[in-house]
Amino acid sequence: MRIDNDPKLDFDDVLIRPKRSEAPSRASVELAREYRFLNGGTWRGVPIVAANMDTVGTFAMARALGPPMLTCLHKHYPEEALVDFFGEEGRADSAFFTVGLQDDEYDKLAAVKKKADVRMVCVDAANGYTKYFVERVKRIRDAFPELVVMAGNVATPDMVQELLISGAADIVKIGIGPGSVCTTRRTTGVGYPQLSAIIECADAAHGLRGHVCADGGCRYPGDVVKAFAAGADFVMLGGMLAGHDECEGTWVEEDGRRVALEFYGMSSREALDKYAGGRRDYRACEGRAVSVPYKGPVLDTMQEVAGGIRSACAYVGATRLKDLSKCTTFVLCQRPHGSMFA
Ligand code: 5GP
C-alpha cells in the first residue's frame, strides 16, 4: 500500500483569482473553439456536451443544444430512431453516438453508420481502466477511422496516454466518482478529485495532441468555468441539464404542470432494472436516484453558463475561451462543506 501525499483538489477547493487587465467586454468573448483531432477531423463549436444519460442525452436535447453545443446521445435508442436522427440535416456535428462494451451495441453502431451520417462516437464504460476497454476503443478506431472517438472514463494521466496511444482515441473522458448521482466513492472507495484529475489529464493529453472532456461534478456555471480553466477541452454535464423540457423520463406533475424529474445514475438500481434486467448478484449499484426540480427550456440555463464563462474570461483578461486556462491562477480555499461526499 502507498499513500500519495500530493494534495488533490475538487471544484470547491479553488477559486479563480481576478487579474488586472485590459478586460475585454463580456459580449466580445469568443466561446467557440476549433479542434483538430488525431484522426485528422476538425470540429468547431462551444465545447459543452450533454451527458449520455437516458434522461439527458436525448434527441430533443441534441436539437436544442446543437450546433454550437454537443450532446452525447444515450445508448438505449432503437436503431431506426438513430438512423432517422442522424439522417436529419446538420445534426452529425452536434451528436455523439454512444456505445458501451456489448457486442450488440457495436453492431448497432455499424448498422446505423451504414445508413446515416454518424461522425462522432463515445465509447463509454464506468471503468475505463481495463485492457478490454482499450481493445474495444481500438477496434472501433480501426473499423471506423473517419469517426472522432471519445473514450472514458478514467482520471489519471497513465490511462489517458494508454487510450490516446494504444486505443487511438481523439478525446479522453475524465471523471471517476464526481457525478451528481454517482455513488462510486461511497460504494467502492475509489475516485479522484475532479479538478486535479482535469489538470493532470489535460497536461498528459495535450502533450500527445489529444483532448480531454471533463465529465461530472459541475453543479454551477462556476464549476464549468473552473473545468475549462483547469485545461478541459470539453465539459460534459448531466445533473445541470436534468429537469429541462428537453429531458425524457418520469416527470412528477401537479395540476397538469411539471414540477420535477426523476433523475438517476446509469449504474443505479433504477437504470439496471430498466435496461439490464436488474442488478446481478455480484454487482453493487454505483448510482442513485434524485428528484430534480423542473427548470424550463435548456437554452435559458445554457445562457447562464455561457454568461458565467464570458464574465470569468473578462475577470482574468481572456478574450477567448481558448485563453482562459493560460490566464488562470487558482487560489486554494477551505472547503465549504468539509466532505468529499457533500
Ligand atoms: P453530473 O454532471 O451529473 O455531475 O455527472 C454526469 C456524469 O456522471 C455522467 O456523464 C457519467 O459519467 C456519470 N454517471 C452517470 N450515472 C452514473 C452512475 O450511476 N454511477 C457513476 N459512478 N457515474 C455515473
322 dihedral zone (left: phi>0; alpha: psi -120 to 50; beta): alpha
Take atom 10 of ligand 1 and give the residue whose Cα is closest.
51
- Please enumerate in sequence order all residues whose Cβ is within 8 A of that of 194, keeping only pairs 6 or more positions apart, or say none: 10, 11, 155, 174, 175, 178, 214, 216, 217, 227
Mean pLDDT of the region 311-315: 96
Instruction: From 180, 181, 241, 298, give the residue whose CB has the most ligand 1 atoms within 8 Å, as the site to mutate.
Output: 181
29 alpha carbon – ligand 1 mean position (Å): 30
Give residues (CB < 6 A) around ligand 1: 51, 53, 126, 153, 175, 179-182, 184, 215-218, 236-240, 265-268, 286-287
The answer to whether the CB of 72 falls within 8 A of the CB of 236 is: yes
Sign of CA dihedral 101, 107, 108, 114: positive
Which residue do the cell numbers 481502466 mark? 129
For the record, the C-alpha cell of 103 comes out as 457486442
At 92 the pLDDT is 84
Cis omega (within 30 of 0) for bond into 5: no
At 339 the pLDDT is 55
155 alpha carbon – ligand 1 mean position (Å): 14
Alpha carbon distance 132, 137 (integer Å): 9
- Of 292 and 41, the one with more pLDDT: 292
154 alpha carbon – ligand 1 mean position (Å): 13
The closest of 205, 204, 210, 227 to 36, measured between CA atoms, is 210
Alpha carbon distance 165, 135 (integer Å): 11
- Angstrom CA distances, 194 to 57, 160, 163, 179, stand at 22, 15, 19, 10
Which ligand 1 atom lies nearest to the CA of residue 176?
22
Mean pLDDT of the region 140-153: 97
At 279 the pLDDT is 67
Average model confidence (pLDDT) across the chain: 95
Alpha carbon distance 241, 215 (integer Å): 13
Instruction: From 73, 154, 182, 235, give the residue whose CB has the most ligand 1 atoms within 8 Å, as the site to mutate.
Output: 182
34 alpha carbon – ligand 1 mean position (Å): 26
Take atom 22 of ligand 1 and give the residue whose Cα is closest.
182
Question: What's the half-sphere exposure (Cβ side, CA atoms, 13 Å) at 337?
Answer: 7
At 20 the pLDDT is 87
Whether 181 has a pLDDT exceeding 70, the answer reads yes
Whether 341 has a pLDDT exceeding 70, the answer reads no
Residue 115: other Cβ atoms inside 10 A: 14
Alpha carbon distance 18, 109 (integer Å): 46
Q: Which of 25-29, 141-145, 178-182, 271-275 has the lowest mean pLDDT?
A: 25-29
Residue 132 confidence class, pLDDT cut points 50, 70, 90: very high
The closest of 194, 177, 227 to 48, measured between CA atoms, is 227
Mean pLDDT of the region 189-211: 98
Residue 149 confidence class, pLDDT cut points 50, 70, 90: very high
Q: Which of 169-183, 221-235, 321-335 has the lowest mean pLDDT?
A: 321-335
How do residues 219-231 score in pLDDT, each as one tens digit?
999 999 999 999 9
Alpha carbon distance 267, 121 (integer Å): 21
Listed in order, strand segments (DSSP E) in the chain are 14-16, 33-36, 42-45, 48-50, 70-72, 95-99, 120-124, 148-154, 171-174, 211-215, 234-237, 251-254, 257-264, 289-293, 330-332
182 in active site: yes
Which ligand 1 atom lies nearest to the CA of residue 268?
19
Mean pLDDT of the region 76-92: 93
Whether 79 has a pLDDT exceeding 90, the answer reads yes
264 alpha carbon – ligand 1 mean position (Å): 9
Question: pTM of the prediction?
Answer: 0.97
Strands 171-174 and 148-154: parallel
Mean pLDDT of the region 205-217: 98
The answer to whether the CB of 195 falls within 8 A of the CB of 14 is: yes
Q: Which domains does the chain have, with CATH numbers?
A: 25-332 (3.20.20.70)
The answer to whether the CB of 172 falls within 8 A of the CB of 233 is: no
